[in-house]
Every structure is written in C-alpha cells, then in structure tokens.
C-alpha cells in the first residue's frame, strides 16, 4: 500500500513536534510568541523573511509579537537549526525555515517544482527490523530521498506547459 502525503504545507504535527523537541532539548519552552513566529514561517514557506516582516505578518495573523522578541526568537531558532539566517543583497538579514532538516525521513522530491511528499510504505516502516533480522545490524535512523518528477509536473509537461 502506497500512501503519499503532501508536506508542501509546512507545519504538520510531525514537523512541529520535531521543532518542539529541539527547543526542549535546548531547554527552551514553546511560548506563544515562539509559536507565532513558527506559524509565520509555516505560512510563508520558501520565503526569506526579515525580522520586521515577521513582526508585521504575526500581527496580521493576530498573534502580535514585539520586534525584540522576534529577534530573540530568531536567534534561538537559528541556534537549534530550525531557521537559517541569510544575508540579502541589500545587506538586510533575513531568515528562512530550514525545512530540509525537518523533513520526514522518506521523501519524494520533485526536481522541477521542488515539491516534497512524504512516502509511507508498509515495508519501509519495517525495514529496520528486517535489516536487523537479516544482518544483526542495529539501525538507529533511516533516510530515503527519491528525486524525480511529480504528477502535476508530468501533467503540465504533457499539456505542453511549464
């Protein structure tokens, strides 16, 4: 049985759980302000946002966070590698969600549009057990990335667009 879940919309419970785990590991609480900043990132996936933009977007989301708190939160999220700081051509620091470090472990990645889907196969879930049974190797973690062309890119190619 093959099931594919779109993960283009960042902010699935799994991904947020990973972020919260990292914050906890760094002995940081998940405060409403920190959640508000994460929500902004999840709604503006793939965009580089300045601290001021994050402050404005959080206010628009009715989750107001002061600029100083935005900066502190960004510093923290950078430290736990949830967010990456990038310096723009204009010299302004912007922040980008480090989606790659939070991806589910089994991914289908479209090389044309960059779409990410999580691949969930029964046998993949049991792979570690099977490997251990067959070889005695104790698997600690597993990761699989398959690169290709997603269905919608294939469709638009057939229609002669894109």
User: β-pairing, 116-121 with 106-110?
Assistant: antiparallel
Out of 33, 112, 119, 120, point to the residue binding Zn ion (CB under 5 A). Answer: 112
Query: Binding of Zn ion at residue 115 (CB under 5 A)?
Result: yes
The residue written with tokens 């980008």 in the block is 96
Question: Minimum CB separation from Zn ion for residue 151, in Å?
Answer: 8
Query: Binding of Zn ion at residue 110 (CB under 5 A)?
Result: yes
Q: What is the largest CA-CA distance in the chain?
A: 56
CA dihedral 120, 124, 125, 129 (to 10 degrees): 180
Q: What is the distance between the alpha carbons of residues 91 and 151, in angstroms, rounded to a whole number?
A: 39
Question: Minimum CB separation from Zn ion for residue 114, in Å?
Answer: 7
Residue 121 three-state SS: strand
Stretch that binds Zn ion, among 19-27, 58-66, 73-81, 142-150 (CB under 5 A): 142-150
Instruction: Note whether 73 and 35 are within 8 A (CB).
Output: no
Question: Minimum CB separation from Zn ion for residue 116, in Å?
Answer: 10
Instruction: Note whether 91 and 72 are within 8 A (CB).
Output: no
119 vs 131 by CB, closer to Zn ion: 119
Query: Binding of Zn ion at residue 109 (CB under 5 A)?
Result: no
Count of residues that bind Zn ion according to CB under 5 A? 6
Question: Minimum CB separation from Zn ion for residue 154, in Å?
Answer: 8
Site of interaction with Zn ion (CB under 5 A) = 110, 112-113, 115, 150, 153
């Amino acid at each position: 049985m093959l099931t594919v879940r779109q993960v283009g919309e960042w902010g699935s419970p799994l991904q947020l759980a990973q972020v919260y785990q990292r914050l906890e590991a760094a002995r940081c609480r998940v405060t409403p302000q920190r959640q508000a900043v994460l929500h902004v990132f999840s709604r503006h996936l793939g965009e580089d946002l300045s601290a001021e933009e994050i402050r404005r977007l959080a206010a628009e989301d009715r989750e107001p966070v002061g600029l100083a708190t935005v900066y502190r939160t960004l510093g923290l999220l950078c430290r736990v590698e949830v967010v990456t700081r990038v310096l723009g051509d204009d010299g302004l620091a912007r922040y980008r969600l480090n989606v790659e470090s939070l991806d589910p472990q089994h991914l289908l990645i479209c090389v044309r549009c960059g779409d990410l889907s999580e691949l969930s196969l029964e046998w993949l879930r049991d792979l570690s057990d099977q490997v251990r049974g067959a070889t005695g190797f104790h698997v600690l973690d597993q990761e699989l990335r398959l690169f290709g062309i997603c269905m919608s890119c294939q469709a638009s190619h057939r229609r002669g667009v894109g």
